């Protein structure tokens, strides 16, 4: 069997049509029956706001037959998506007395919908102390479920729901010993993103004494509606689209979505985030999405439709330093959140390279214990195991410490992790020198010195993360993506009580209220929160106007007044890497010129890329006559977009140059 989305053409009364969809599917069943007696079609969801249509579980033969129905616009297979702040408010320039925070009243009555792994409601980040009653515009509910009573919601978390029909159709019943079939977050990701976007103020927040300070979301007084769409094995299109549908109906103002496919679709017609995003925009809801963590290769950015706010990741002026000192006296900068017993500074451990001991990536079962026991092991980042998972591999082989080294893919990016053995991550240049040292001296030794939290102007910030996905835009290269970058490296925010900070469920029994994570999943809710503040400041602004303000006021010089550095190469970042630049919330408060876009502009845009009326109808809220011949957008690049990318053709090669 396969999972299918079916989109129907627009009708005069979509609410009535919504009720008819299940019956219509049943009526189609006799036409879909064959000699082999396939199972009856199973309706999963009906959509009226994020699209018009439904998701169903069908056989390939049933899909083939259904294509003949005149009402069907398109059939899209259900795809799986994957998951992509104490100091960041100060780094962003947010102040309590002046600027966007007080002007927006901290987004006190704006509702942000977070589509993710759910939420851990008991955290202080979700306290509703001092909050006004729930806004009268809210039409949603708090869905009770296992380990999540209706009392889990309050005046901060005003709604919560779980969507799993598509997931179960693909993977079978949810294993409730590992996941909670409710809005309860057992992974941590959703709690982290929700508290980043709109967490309440929490004093003395920290992770093992790292990053200690006052934690708060970007929109500290905004209300949160949590929609759980992601489960142990991924996030399915059908569940996500159902959550977007529900969020719009519930009355959210901003949708924050830190998920995406590994590779962008080649067409917006097949991209359900693009479809749901434009339906949301037509109802005044801005969708803010992560660009993805597939950098540094080009054409890797996802969630790239022009009506979506696409966010890449950058560093802030804070690091968690853990330096490597070699036996010959050389020192190399590293990053770690290790909180166990520190190494004796006076004792240098024997140092070996994992590549000489069976596995350069330190993969489980491949390290030679006789060569590793009692030693510090150099392991390359990547391969078939996660960064912290390598700790356990080294430990099981008898190793006592680890130096994790970046390869060319990650360059000089330093991501800190909650290691379970003394360990640190160093950049590629340092890693190569350390490995050369191991191979060139008869008795190589090293130690790691953990320096804790370090803030300041060196190294410069922001710098663009190597993992942050890049343009050009695979579908319409004339639209520059990502749109902006924001803080996404080593970000402290709320965490689930169901799993330790390393995310290793079987071996990490530590429990914390805050955790440090990295990814465009972290930068997205920062920008979502800023968009929420702008939405409360200018309630009449369209989603495109809010997006324009953030893009046209973004900056491209770091705190040393130099162009951004791309951590993948150590060289100057390009517009394909950082988009319009790094968000500046206080400047966005007064952007001057605003590039506004309405649905007719988007229709003209879709016409300009060759879509016909049947394809365009998928994206539209209301039935309209689509005459592309009457549209005056000569090319996709003519869209009234806050940035632009010009495509030059030379023979069969398309070359891109940019402006903004």
User: Helix, strand, or coil here: 529?
Assistant: helix
Give the whole-angstrom CA distance, residue 136 versus residue 503. 38
Give the whole-angstrom CA distance, residue 156 versus residue 222. 7
Strands 318-326 and 331-332: antiparallel
Give the whole-angstrom CA distance, residue 38 versus residue 57. 12
Q: Is 116 a catalytic residue?
A: yes
Q: Residue 441 — φ and ψ, nearest 5°?
A: -120, 150
Where does 217-345 have alpha helices with state H?
A: 237-250, 272-282
Asked if 266 and 474 touch (Cβ cutoff 8 Å), the reply is yes
Residue of 256, 521, 523, 643 with catalytic role: 521
| Greatest distance between any 2 Cα atoms in the chain | 81
Give the whole-angstrom CA distance, residue 396 versus residue 507. 12
User: Helix, strand, or coil here: 295?
Assistant: coil
Radius of gyration, alpha carbons of the chain: 25
The residue assigned the tokens 């040292």 is 437
Residue of 189, 192, 253, 419 with catalytic role: 189
Q: Is 5 a catalytic residue?
A: no
Tokens found for residue 15:
């609410």
Please name the helix (run of DSSP H) or strand (run of DSSP E) that holds residue 491, with its range, or none: strand 491-494
How large is the angle between the packed helices 543-552 and 520-537, nearest 10 degrees? 110
Give the whole-angstrom CA distance, residue 89 versus residue 198. 12
Count of C-beta atoms within a 10 Å radius of residue 297: 10
Tokens found for residue 169:
């159709």
- Over the range 152-172, which residues count as b (16 or more CB within 10 Å of their CB) and which as e? bbbebbbbbbbbbbbbbbbbe
Tokens found for residue 436:
């050369």
| Residue ranges with strand state E in 150-293 | 157-162, 202-207, 210-215, 223-228, 230-231, 234-236, 254-257, 259-260, 286-290
Strands 254-257 and 111-116: parallel
How large is the angle between the packed helices 237-250 and 272-282, nearest 10 degrees? 10
Residue of 78, 116, 179, 245 with catalytic role: 116
Asked if 425 and 381 touch (Cβ cutoff 8 Å), the reply is yes
29 CB-side CA count, 13 A: 16
Count of C-beta atoms within a 10 Å radius of residue 150: 11
CA-wise closest residue to 615 among 287, 302, 271, 241: 271
- Secondary-structure breakdown of the chain: helix, strand, coil percentages, each rounded to the nearest 5: 25, 25, 50
CA-wise closest residue to 259 among 238, 288, 284: 288
Helix count and strand count (H, E) for the chain: 17, 31
Q: Residue 7 — φ and ψ, nearest 5°?
A: -110, 125
Measured between alpha carbons, how far apart are the two ends of the chain, in Å? 47
Q: State the virtual CA torsion across 210, 215, 219, 225 in degrees, nearest 10.
A: 90
> Which amino acids are annotated catalytic?
116, 189, 521
């Amino acid at each position: 069997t396969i999972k299918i989305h079916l989109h129907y053409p627009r009708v005069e009364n979509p609410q009535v049509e919504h009720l008819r969809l299940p019956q219509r599917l049943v009526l189609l069943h006799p036409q879909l029956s064959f000699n082999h007696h396939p199972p009856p079609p199973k309706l999963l969801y009906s959509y009226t706001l994020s699209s018009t249509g439904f998701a169903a579980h069908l056989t390939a033969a049933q899909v083939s037959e259904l294509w003949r129905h005149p009402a069907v616009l398109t059939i899209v297979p259900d795809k799986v998506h994957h998951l992509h702040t104490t100091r960041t408010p100060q780094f962003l320039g947010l102040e309590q007395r002046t600027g966007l925070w007080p002007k927006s009243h901290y987004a006190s009555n704006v509702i942000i919908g977070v589509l993710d792994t759910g939420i851990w409601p008991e955290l202080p980040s979700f306290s509703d102390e001092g909050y006004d009653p729930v806004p009268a515009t809210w039409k949603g509910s708090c869905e009770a479920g296992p380990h999540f009573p209706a009392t889990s919601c309050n005046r901060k978390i005003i709604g919560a729901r779980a969507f799993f029909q598509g997931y179960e159709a693909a993977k079978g019943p949810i294993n409730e010993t590992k996941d909670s079939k409710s809005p309860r977050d057992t992974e941590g990701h959703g709690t982290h993103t929700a508290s980043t976007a709109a967490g309440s103020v929490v004093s003395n927040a920290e992770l093992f004494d790292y990053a200690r300070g006052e934690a708060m979301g970007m929109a500290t007084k905004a209300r949160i509606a949590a929609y759980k769409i992601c489960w142990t094995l991924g996030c399915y299109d059908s569940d996500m689209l159902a959550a977007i549908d529900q969020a719009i109906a519930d009355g959210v103002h901003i949708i924050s979505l830190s998920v995406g496919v590994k590779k962008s679709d080649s067409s917006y017609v097949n991209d359900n985030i693009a479809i749901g995003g434009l339906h949301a925009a037509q109802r005044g809801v801005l969708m803010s999405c992560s660009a993805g963590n597939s950098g540094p290769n080009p054409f890797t950015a996802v969630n790239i439709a022009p009506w979506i706010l696409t966010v890449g990741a950058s560093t802030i002026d804070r690091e968690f330093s853990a330096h490597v000192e070699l036996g010959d006296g050389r020192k190399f900068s590293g990053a770690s959140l290790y909180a166990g017993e520190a190494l004796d500074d006076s004792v240098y451990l024997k140092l070996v390279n994992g590549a000489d001991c069976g596995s350069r990536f330190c993969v489980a079962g491949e390290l030679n214990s006789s060569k590793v026991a009692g030693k510090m092991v150099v392991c390359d980042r990547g391969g078939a195991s996660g960064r912290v998972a390598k700790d356990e591999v080294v430990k099981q082989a008898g190793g006592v410490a680890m130096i994790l080294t970046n390869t060319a893919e990650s360059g000089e990016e330093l991501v800190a992790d909650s290691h379970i053995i003394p360990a640190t991550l160093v950049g590629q240049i340092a890693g190569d020198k350390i490995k050369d040292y191991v191979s060139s001296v008869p008795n190589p030794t090293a130690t790691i010195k953990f320096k804790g939290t370090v803030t300041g102007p060196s190294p410069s910030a922001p710098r663009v993360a190597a993992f942050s996905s890049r343009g050009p835009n695979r579908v319409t290269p004339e639209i520059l993506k990502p749109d902006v970058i924001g803080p996404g490296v080593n970000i402290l925010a709320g965490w689930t009580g169901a799993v330790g900070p390393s995310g290793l469920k079987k071996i990490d029994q530590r429990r914390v209220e805050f955790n440090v994570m990295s990814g465009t999943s972290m930068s997205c809710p920062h920008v979502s929160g800023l968009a929420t503040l702008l939405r409360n400041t200018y309630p009449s602004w369209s989603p495109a106007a809010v997006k324009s303000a953030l893009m046209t006021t973004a900056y491209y010089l770091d705190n040393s007044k130099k162009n951004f550095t791309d951590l993948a190469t150590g060289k100057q970042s390009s517009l394909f890497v950082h988009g319009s630049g790094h968000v500046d919330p206080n400047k966005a408060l007064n952007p001057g010129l605003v590039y506004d876009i309405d649905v007719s502009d988007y229709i003209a845009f879709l016409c300009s890329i060759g879509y016909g009326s049947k394809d365009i109808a998928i994206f539209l809220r209301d039935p309209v006559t689509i005459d592309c011949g009457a549209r005056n957008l000569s090319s996709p690049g003519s869209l009234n977009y806050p940035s632009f990318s010009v495509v030059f053709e030379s023979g069969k090669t398309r070359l891109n140059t940019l402006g903004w």
